[in-house]
Chain A
Amino acid sequence: MAAHLKKRVYEEFTKVVQQQQEEIATKKLRLTKPSKSAALHIDLCKATSPADALQYLLQFARKPVEAESVEGVVRILLEHYYKENDPSVRLKIASLLGLLSKTAGFSPDCIMDDAINILQNEKSHQVLAQLLDTLLAIGTKLPENQAIQMRLVDVACKHLTDTSHGVRNKCLQLLGNLGSLEKSVTKDGEGLAVRDVQKIIGDYFSDQDPRVRTAAIKAMLQLHERGLKLHQTIYNQACKLLSDDYEQVRSAAVQLIWVVSQLYPESIVPIPSSNEEIRLVDDAFGKICHMVSDGSWVVRVQAAKLLGSMEQVSSHFLEQTLDKKLMSDLRRKRTAHERAKELYSSGEFSSGRKWGDDAPKEEIDTGAVNLIESGACGAFVHGLEDEMYEVRIAAVEALCMLAQSSPSFAEKCLDFLVDMFNDEIEEVRLQSIHTMRKISNNITLREDQLDTVLAVLEDSSRDIREALHELLCCTNVSTKEGIHLALVELLKNLTKYPTDRDSIWKCLKFLGSRHPTLVLPLVPELLSTHPFFDTAEPDMDDPAYIAVLVLIFNAAKTCPTMPALFSDHTFRHYAYLRDSLSHLVPALRLPGRKLVSSAVSPSIMPHEDPSHQFLQQSLERVYSLQHLDPQGTQELLELTIRDLQRLGELQSELAGVADFSATYLRCQLLLIKALQEKLWNVAAPLYLKQSDLASAAAKQIMEETYKMEFMYSGVENKQVVIIHHMRLQAKALQLIVTARTTRGVDPLFGMCEKFLQEVDFFQRCFIADLPHLQDSFVDKLLDLMPRLMTSKPVEVVKILQTMLRQSTFLHLPLPEQIHKASATIIEPAGESDNPLRFTSGLVVALDVDATLEHVQDPQNTVKVQVLYPDGQAQMIHPKPADFRNPGPGRHRLITQVYLSHTAWTEPCQVEVRLLLAYNSSSRIPKSPWIEGGEVSPQVETSIEGTIPFSKSVKVYIMPKPARR
């Protein structure tokens, strides 16, 4: 095809337009489709007024054009362009040219000459700009062709002096996208003057039009993005633009400064009006910091965001960003943070009760105070106090990134982050809590800080509380009072919001295991034991008591002296909790029960290995016995599936692998069973009824393969091949069964053809993997492909049947990391006896809260399904904003589902469950064939479906008839 095109390119250069039209006509015959170009030509000729022509063009633009006919269309358009007087029509044609040249499979170099030609004669600025845009499209389509690029750059340079800003904009864009710096390219002897694109673009930094200035900076950034190294001289130019009058210029300039600072972090720049010199990255940092107090919030957001990624900046500068020298009446004043710290270190607790304890102290030398520091002073202080929450969020994010790379900075920014916990916008609060969690390795919370953090536990927003629990999971607390405080606050939280139970237990588990030594002295108090007296045994079902025990037991894991402090009932409770809440309570080495514990304890550590081995062994066993008698194979498969399932339940970290392999084995088992049916031995017409089992098996295998493909994260290409192979087998089975059970040949024709297409598709998609599929069903199938293509359906079925029976069992290689997607609906709980009443015909909102594990791209794939008792099913797509991401691999869906129904007489239950939607085209590995545009992947790609992946919850609802 490509060769053909190329040939045609050369032809068309020489031919006259008229002849080309004839050629298009012949093409039309060949394609047996109505040619678009011809139709367009007729339309355009018919057009009497520019408005008409414009209408035709607009209509034409709505439909895509095939790669083959692009060229013809372009010719027609160009021809019309020359004749056209109306600039708006020319504009539309120019834009169409751009669109067409982007068509996949079309090489636009043939229309470049024409485009440049018409550019030279064009007077209208708008059309000029559009033509340049077209050239840009052409240029980006041909990135390898240096000569063309040079020419385009030349054209752009020529039009840079145009009076219209639009044209200059486009020229700069063209330069940014196509201009090259490499001198070597120009040495090729094109005869073109050596152009320093950077210099040319740089000159336009001082254009009179702000839009052009912006475009110039953007072009420079584009050059950088394309991998050209910018000169350092640009830095000074960019710095001047920081004081531009227009916000978009300033915003772009900030980006440019950032880019340069990343390119030349270590070069030295002089400080104006003094003899000192500093590193460029520091200077840039200072300048960007200054922009955090810019007048426009767009610039502020941009600046705050970029600050986060400047990691090379020296710590001295970094720490200035949090510094704001306070004064009151010219006397130095300490910040509230400093005061809090001092109070803490002097051992006194914050009083705040005296008036004037914040009274300013020493006098300040008036000369020494600098009110607008040139440096980074207080940038974050300003950013975090900004009016716009966008700026605040950006500042928090930047703070997070900088703190992750610098522990000392992390320590310093803690106070500010803690302050952000009280922001008025929930998003900001949440963000700062997450930030704190991310930097928690670097920090230890002081008691007063912890106090502020814990105060947020009373927040009514569940997100905030849970984020805070996550934070507490990984913070370091410095004192035992701190631990006590945290526990007390968490228990308070528990009584106020009992739904937080699980989250709080989990939080205490980590708190305990991180601070065993701090928990130790608290144990008697927490368990309220008394040295002489026995105290009453606490209620075992009290969540608060369980919370305390979780904390203690986890601390005791690494603190062997602790169990000595336990009283008898504590041990009993331990045994109970270890069983009932095994994920929260670790195995302990308890002194009193050596017999039990010593047997368990040595095996704690190497526990993972044998189970993994077991998994491997059992799988290998299955794969090795390919040629056993069917009965034995079946039994073994059944056994292994059972083993794997049990293993998955026991070992959560192996659950993914175990389930995945078990599903595969089950498919295999089904296939074997189906093939064992007696149906195959008997004449077809007799077994119409019994074929149910085989076709059901085929259907089930299909379903299971979709599950395997889409419900597991971490599935690699290797596995996808096997899965598709299994599906192909299932399809073959289906075909055979239908062939057996239907009379007549007609429907078989279609099915056979479809099947063969699928085989073909399989071969194309997985051509690279075919060598691994030796001896498999598909391998044999492909060998016989030529024969199959020509055979009659009946024969095809026969061949398939034998092959299916002979095919071997493919070994499924286990992926490194595999996790099954799962979802749990937390709310609605489905236990309520009170029906949700609402007027029929109107809607009622049902809050749905669910956690999703290992779901990739949940925004697009997760749906909520509502099943009404009358069998009506409704699918709801949650908004992307309803998904939270509390941790890697985990998502949380909090949404509202709107229910509505006509009136019922009795309250009834509707089922709510989550579905995982899939689209098979998304997973198929991209092969160059498909991208080539020739093959439209019709066969399998359009299959879409859903897999339920959560237990359904029943909600009691009662639509009442509306009262009139």
Chain B
Amino acid sequence: MPEIRVTPLGAGQDVGRSCILVSIAGKNVMLDCGMHMGFSDDRRFPDFSYITRNGRLTDFLDCVIISHFHLDHCGALPYFSEMVGYDGPIYMTHPTQAICPILLEDYRKIAVDKKGEANFFTSQMIKDCMKKVVAVHLHQTVQVDDELEIKAYYAGHVLGAAMFQIKVGSESVVYTGDYNMTPDRHLGAAWIDKCRPNLLITESTYATTIRDSKRCRERDFLKKVHEAVERGGKVLIPVFALGRAQELCILLETFWERMNLKAPIYFSTGLTEKANHYYKLFITWTNQKIRKTFVQRNMFEFKHIKAFDRAFADNPGPMVVFATPGMLHAGQSLQIFRKWAGNEKNMVIMPGYCVQGTVGHKILSGQRKLEMEGRQVLEVKMQVEYMSFSAHADAKGIMQLVGQAEPESVLLVHGEAKKMEFLKQKIEQELRVSCYMPANGETVTLPTSPSIPVGVSLGLLKREMAQGLLPDAKKPRLLHGTLIMKDSALKELGLAEHQLRFTCRVHLHDPRKEQETALRVYSHLKSVLKDHCVQHLPDGSVTVESILIQAAAHSEDPGTKVLLVSWTYQDEELGSYLTSLLKKGLPQASS
């Protein structure tokens, strides 16, 4: 029976280290190859030795697909391809291909240069790895080999994020990666057609959340920034370089434009500049508004947002600064924060989640006196605001996507087990679709019912069409005919042929030993059936073509021998002839 097997190596009932193995119709595909933020030991990368104990990965995997450039989806890629060793194709979209190496390089720098880790991948490895990448366009069907094809769909989330459909013959799997069903200021909403895959592997980060309208969030954010700037304060927005940062930039930029505001907005330089460059390039991946207006002006060519210089922080007057990193744990954002914290006119807006232990987390939980290094105590007088901008689909969005794609079954990854449980139950209840949520290393096996194409002669079809006058596309219709099955269909279905055997016992009065009886039968048949292949096998049985004849002594009467004749359905004619022949008895040979 053909089947689809799915094994998450990461992201099974967990967030981070996305890596999912899919076997579909004999093809093996790896979806994403991410690292885990929470670990810095071996657990940070997926356990690739699971894939194959010995032997090269390239032989086992047909291709690797990367959904988007976040490190928890692509962070382990150089390690996987260069250090573990994989030479097959790696598929990703163009923006991902462009931005991915920047982030990998950044990650490498922090790991090696700052933390001093040894045995980490090198810049050269990143470059070599990226050489194996094949870039795909949206909705482009890429033939990986003769049978396996993949197709990318728009997923929102971040620039270049895509959902992938993997298809072999009539079986298909859709992997969503991370996606967002509500559009934001710079990206559109995820969309997929009614492709009816056998399996939909979807993320479930917000499996138990239904979010409020994004408009309220945006309005709140803008209002807070506007008020702070109006009373002459400075606003600090700590962000990570890619994704949300661009959304907030667009938001502020358009607001400044609309409201004719003059206060300067700065963006800390470095990584972001490069990234912004790519946002400018990949306009087709953004939302409707930006796509439509870029002829007049590319929205990412900011008019009000300028590069930040360290010296600007001391300038008088209001300003807004985006600075990295997002959790205020180090770097520029922390420096600026220390400078501005003392003034109650100023404001810091945390646009995302902060890990425990960071300065960001402390101030968000209401701490007003912070102990900095060197026993300094920093009093925080500035306003602290929290805004949650997240680009994952919420429970409703996930359901909506499932409804759009109409899969046969759903598999949840990239989420917490407890939350998945709820969503699983909902999906099964409301959409009546079976749902799985394997843990890491656990394999889900889905039997599939592959469709076998049947050829019908045109004449028959037309005759049948003519009988029923009304069209009925969706309803089955009775067609009279004979279905002839050949081997190929059986092979495709993975089925063994049914064998129908007839057996018959013929009693022979023969006092001699079994072997001799068999020999006599053999010689008799040999003489009668001249043009058939009659053989006497070493174990004492006789075969005529595929018909088997065995001789045995009768249990009660040693004078009678029982001849067991067995033949297949196909040889019915010959078989029945043989039995009738044997029933007549053997000729009394002179010898």
Contact = CB atoms under 8 A, between A and B. Distances in A.
A207 B473 contact: yes
A206 B430 CA distance: 26
B366 A328 contact: no
Contacts of A388: 288
Contact of A387 (B183, B219, B223, B469): B183
A295 B153 CA distance: 13
A336 B214 CA distance: 10
Nearest to B470: A203
Contacts of B259: 458-460
B189 A295 contact: no
Interface string B463-476: 00000011111110
Contacts of A791: none
A461 interface: yes
Interface stretch (A366-374, A648-656, A733-741, A830-838): A366-374
A interface, size bucket: 35 or more
Most-contacted residue by chain B among A204, A355, A420 (CB, 10 A): A355
A325 B254 contact: no
A9 B366 CA distance: 95
A389 B426 contact: no
B257 interface: yes
B194 interface: yes
Nearest to A168: B471
A293 B400 contact: yes
A322 to B, nearest CB: 10
Given A295-B192, A387-B189, A206 B472 contact: yes
A452 B183 contact: no
Given A352-B220, A352-B224, A460-B258, A384 B213 contact: yes
Given A245-B194, A460-B260, A329 B217 contact: no
B215 A329 contact: no
Contacts of A496: 260
A330 B216 contact: no
Contact of A372 (B383, B400, B422, B471): B400
Contacts of B474: 206
Interface string A354-388: 11100000000010011110000010010011111
A389 B254 CA distance: 16
A389 B183 CA distance: 11
A422 B220 CA distance: 11
B219 A419 contact: yes
Most chain B C-beta atoms within 10 Å of own C-beta, residue among A206, A378, A424:
A424
A926 B222 CA distance: 58
A518 interface: no
B439 interface: no
A828 to B, nearest CB: 22
A385 B214 contact: yes
A326 B212 contact: yes
B304 interface: no
A598 interface: no
A786 B509 CA distance: 137
A353 B385 contact: yes
Contacts of A325: 210
A923 B289 CA distance: 43
* A interface secondary structure, majority: loop
Given A385-B213, A496-B260, A295 B191 contact: yes
A922 interface: no
B111 interface: no
A385 B211 contact: no
B294 to A, nearest CB: 14
Contacts of B426: 369, 371
B182 interface: yes
A329 B403 contact: no
A330 B425 CA distance: 13
Nearest to A324: B210
Contacts of B257: 460
Given A245-B194, A336-B212, A424 B185 contact: yes
A419 B400 contact: no
A683 B37 CA distance: 111
Contacts of A204: 471
Interface string A458-479: 1111000000000000000000
A351 to B, nearest CB: 10
A458 B260 contact: yes
A594 interface: no
B205 to A, nearest CB: 12
B141 interface: no
B218 to A, nearest CB: 6
B430 A370 contact: yes
Given A328-B208, A372-B431, A381 B189 contact: no
A336 B473 contact: no
Nearest to B363: A355
A371 B431 CA distance: 10
A378 B214 CA distance: 14
B469 A161 contact: yes
Contacts of A245: 194
Contacts of B471: 203-204, 206-208, 212
Contact of B193 (A295, A329, A336): A295
A767 interface: no
Contacts of B469: 161
A737 to B, nearest CB: 58
B395 interface: yes
Nearest to A390: B288
Contacts of B224: 352
A324 to B, nearest CB: 7
A479 B457 CA distance: 81
A329 B192 CA distance: 27
Given A371-B426, A372-B396, A419 B213 contact: yes
Interface in A319-338: 324-330, 333, 335-337
A688 interface: no
A243 B407 CA distance: 14
A366 B429 CA distance: 12
A329 B419 contact: yes
Contact of A422 (B183, B208, B219): B219
A420 B219 CA distance: 10
Contacts of B400: 293, 372
B287 interface: yes
B404 interface: yes
Contacts of A203: 470-471
Contacts of B404: 295
A452 B209 contact: no
Nearest to B462: A163
A327 B218 CA distance: 19
Nearest to B395: A371
A339 to B, nearest CB: 9
A381 to B, nearest CB: 6
A962 interface: no
Interface in B136-195: 182-183, 185, 188-189, 191-194
Sort A-B residue pairs by CB-CB distance and give the 3 closest, nearest first. Answer: A336-B216, A208-B473, A387-B183
22 contacts: A295-B191, A325-B210, A326-B210, A326-B211, A327-B395, A330-B208, A335-B216, A336-B217, A354-B366, A370-B430, A371-B395, A372-B400, A372-B403, A378-B396, A385-B182, A385-B214, A388-B288, A422-B215, A422-B222, A424-B185, A455-B226, A461-B258
Given A372-B400, A496-B260, 12 more contacts: A206-B473, A207-B471, A295-B193, A352-B224, A353-B383, A385-B215, A387-B287, A388-B288, A389-B289, A419-B216, A424-B185, A424-B289
Interface of A: 161, 203-204, 206-208, 212, 245, 293, 295, 324-330, 333, 335-337, 352-356, 366, 369-372, 378, 381, 384-389, 416, 419-420, 422-425, 452, 455, 458-461, 496
